[in-house]
Structure 1
Amino acid sequence: MIKWRSGLIFLTALLFIMIISACGNNSEGGSSKSDGSNQSGEKAGSKTLSILTGGTGGTYYPLGGSMAQIISEETDFNANAQSSGASAENMQALKNGEADIAFSQTDIAAYALNGELMFKDNKVDNVKAIGTLYPETVQIITTKDSGIHSVEDLKGKSVSVGAPGSGVNANAQQILEIHGLSFDDIKAQSLSFDESTDGIQSGSIDAAFITAGTPTAAVESLSAQKEIRVIPIADDKIKQLIEKYPYYAEDTVPKGTYKIPENVKTVAVKAMLVVRGELDEDAVYNITKAIFENTNKITHAKGKLIKAEAALDGIGNLPLHPGAETYFSEKGIQP
């Protein structure tokens, strides 16, 4: 009897130990895999890195998703991309410490740094650059049957100019200004890219300013439903615009984009990545290296334009983060 009881106690204790051991091998995020990640794909013990992009109908959002995956694979961070109101909102969020990395237009980053326009009395002084990425084309979109052939033809029309304080909004104001117009001369609508193209399709608006890398997803969707027109900017107006606002450059929407029959002249600013200045130098070095040495993993067409050799072009007076500066210095790349 004593031996039988001893055996039962031993078996009970062994079962208890096995249960405790099994529980100990599982965390709240799921069981650990051999590469250190858990069942959700996140690396155990890694810090989360938030990347602010733009609206889901623009270029920032899919690019940010690709970059988040690259950073998660190549560094010790678990990165995630979040949709946002794009450049101006992103700069404000970084200032407030609400995110780590963000996409921005170069002109908006300059306004934030200098406390100008939408950042008047709200200067952003804790954001630094990682690098520029690709041209962001100012696209003035309408339908072929709208009767709108020039910027001047927008007078009296219902036109989406982006959210107040957004990069698109500033671009629209400046381009209209060069043509002797203002928001008072149009029926200005503050719409996102998706809302803009939906409005053009439904006929509730006549045209939209969209500043994004081409092809832009929302405009591609519209071109599948409607025959669209991209409004050109005349050479003399492009020259005047660049003279007054030197962060613009001449650009072209190529023939075949959105099924358009010929090249269309316009202007562009540059997309860039910015980061909170407080982020650790080694961390930003590794993030910068991961992105610029794995651009082949970026699925969006703009990935082909993202190159370390061009990452300091158009960066203006926005200071580089020391981590990014170290990476580019090692590559022999200077501003």
Structure 2
Amino acid sequence: MAEHAASLSRRTALQAGLLALSAAFAGACASDPPMQLRLAAGEVGGFFWEFAGLLSDAAAKTAVTQIVPLTSAGSVDNLEALGSRQAELALTLMDAAYSHPSGELAAVGCVYENYFQVAVRADSTIESVDDLRGRNVSIGAPGSGATEVSQRVLRAAGVSEDGAVEQVQLSMSSAADALTANEVDAVMWAGGLPTPAFAQPRAAIRLLDLGTVVADLRREFGTAYEAVLVPANVYGEHQEVTSVGIPNLLLAHPDVPDRVVAALVGVLLDQSSGLVPSQAIGSQFLDARSLVMTGSIPLHPGAEQEYRRRHG
């Protein structure tokens, strides 16, 4: 994990890094110091945060850029940070990027895949998403992409009308504690496998199978969602289940110089073995073919040029 990190909020505009960005625009040359880029990441302990730290460490080995990860609530916060110039880089779920279109979205690459997961206590009578009617459910932290996915999953399952589910918004760590304390009946989140907040729960948990809702999600929202298998016993003892896979995008503001983004592509390709989060079971996307699969989000010109230079 990178040693330097900062917090991101809607109320506080982080100015560190703007001078570095302006200096780069003034004219870059080989003798320039590395350009500092702020990366809007996510919650400490989450998939985004772990990947951001690995990327920061890998980028530090180059002479082109230094990456400072910023904590945030998740995808929506990160997109807002990118648009408001509080960050030059951002991690986001692909569906969140689709839901918040902007001319300031340019992809460096598609990096890994998040698993949308729904957990209940192992002794719960809840067997499917339909059974969440009348229950207290954590749907993700405010500003997270998981909140939007949670609401879409509830709608696909037919339990989204007012009052059908008591929705509460908690961070992953708070939600894990609330599930253990019997304060919520289920937790919805998007993360890796296993997500650290749930990897060693104080009470046994199991995951709900989401196979019945994936087809509805794809019909309504397209290829931002796909069916993915969660292996048995990722969280204690449980059967293999189908979850919802959502690609993760690494974005750069269009004003980040092409040469810097090209260097980031080089990091993703050349140091891929050092960029595998412990939460990345079965979802190692860091190869040229997968990195360019950014859906309707265009590649940053610097990224496109580097992929073409390397692979035609």
One-letter code of the match for 1:306?
A: L
What's the % identity of the aligned pairs?
Answer: 24
| 2:204 is the counterpart of 1:227 | yes
- Could you tell me which residue of structure 1 aligns to residue 136 of structure 2? 158
Return closer, same or farther for 1:193/1:263 CA change in 2, 3 Å cut-off: same
Q: Which amino acid aligns with 1:149?
A: E
**Aligned counterpart, 2:81:** 93
Residues in 1 aligned to 2:105 and 2:149: alpha-carbon distance in whole angstroms? 22
Structure 2 unaligned regions, length at least 5: 1-30
Shift in alpha-carbon separation, 1:270–1:304, aligned structure 2, 3 A? closer
8 Å Cα contact 2:132/2:159 also seen in 1: no
Whether the 8 Å CA contact 1:95–1:125 is kept in 2: the answer is: no
Which residue of 2 is the match for residue 193 of structure 1?
172
Q: CA deviation at 1:187?
A: 1.1
The equivalent of 1:309 in structure 2 is 289
SS of 2:163's equivalent? Answer: helix
State the match for 1:81 in structure 2.
Answer: 69
Aligned to 1:181: 159
Q: Which residue of 2 aligns with 1:66?
A: 54
Give the structure with higher Rg (CA): 1
Shift of 1:133: 1.2
- The amino acid of 2:215's aligned partner reads K
Alpha-carbon contact 1:50-1:79 (below 8 Å) kept? yes
**TM-score (normalizing by structure 1):** 0.78
Distance apart, 1:299 and its partner CA: 5.1
Check 1:158–1:65 CA distance in 2 against 1; reply closer, same or farther (3 A cut): same
CA distance in 1, matches of 2:143, 2:163: 17
1:304 Cα deviation after fit: 3.9
Deviations 1:223-260 (Å, cap 9, x if unpaired)? xx22111011244x322221112121011111121123
Match of 1:107 in 2: 95
| Partner secondary structure for residue 82 of structure 1 | strand
Instruction: Give the secondary structure class of the aligned counterpart of 2:72.
Output: coil
Q: Does 1:277 align with 2:254?
A: yes
Pair 1:211-2:187 in alignment: no
Q: Aligned partners of 2:275 and 2:237: how far apart in 1?
A: 26
Instruction: Give, as a single letter, the amino acid of the residue that structure 1 aligns with 2:59.
Output: I
Counterpart of 2:219?
Answer: 243
For residue 308 of structure 2, what is the aligned residue in structure 1? 329
For 1:146 and 1:199, the matched residues in 2 are separated by 14
**Are 2:153 and 1:202 equivalent residues in the alignment?**
no
Deviation of 1:44 after TM superposition, in Å, equals 9.3
In the alignment, structure 1 segments of 5+ residues that lack a partner are: 1-42, 114-123
The residue aligned with 2:38 is 50
SS at 1:88 equivalent: helix
What is the one-letter code of the residue matched to 1:178? A
Shift of 1:165: 4.6
The residue identity in structure 2 corresponding to 1:248 is Y
Select which of 61, 86, 109 maps to 1:131: 109
**Cα distance in 2, alignment partners of residues 154 and 86 from structure 1:** 24
* Secondary structure of the structure 1 residue equivalent to 2:87: coil
SS in 2 for 1:208: strand
Q: Distance in 2 between matches of 1:199 and 1:328?
A: 45
SS in 1 for 2:206: strand
Deviation at 1:261, TM superposition (A): 3.0
Range that drifts further, 240-249 or 316-325: 240-249
Q: Helix, strand or coil for the counterpart of 2:216?
A: helix
CA distances 1:82-119 after superposition (whole Å, capped 9, x unpaired): 21111111011010111111110001111121xxxxxx
* Alignment length (residue pairs): 277
CA contact (8 A) 1:71 1:291 kept: no
Aligned to 1:257, the other structure's residue is in SS state coil
Instruction: Give the structure 2 partner of residue 289 of structure 1.
Output: 266
Which residue does the alignment assign to 2:298? 319
What SS class does the counterpart of residue 74 from structure 1 fall into? Answer: coil
Letter in 2 for 1:163: A
Deviations along 1:182-204, whole A, 9 cap, x unmatched? 16311110111111101111111
Amino acid at match of 2:287: K
Contact 1:105 1:271 in 2 (8 A): yes
Q: Which has the higher contact order (CA 8 A, sep 6+)?
A: 2
RMSD: 1.8
C-alpha distance in 2 between matches for 1:66 and 1:146: 37
Cα distance in 1 between the residues matched to 2:246 and 2:311: 25
- Tell me the alpha carbon deviations over residues 134-190 of structure 1, each in whole angstroms, 9 at most, x when there is no partner: 221110011111211110111111100113453111111111111111163111101
The 1:184–1:164 alpha-carbon spacing in structure 2 relative to 1, beyond 3 Å, is farther
Paired residue type of 1:252: L
Distance in 2 between the 1:296 and 1:212 partners? 20
**When you count helix as a share of all residues, which structure comes out higher?**
1
CA contact (8 A) 2:75 2:145 kept: yes
In the alignment, is the contact (CA less than 8 A) between 2:42 and 2:48 conserved in 1?
yes
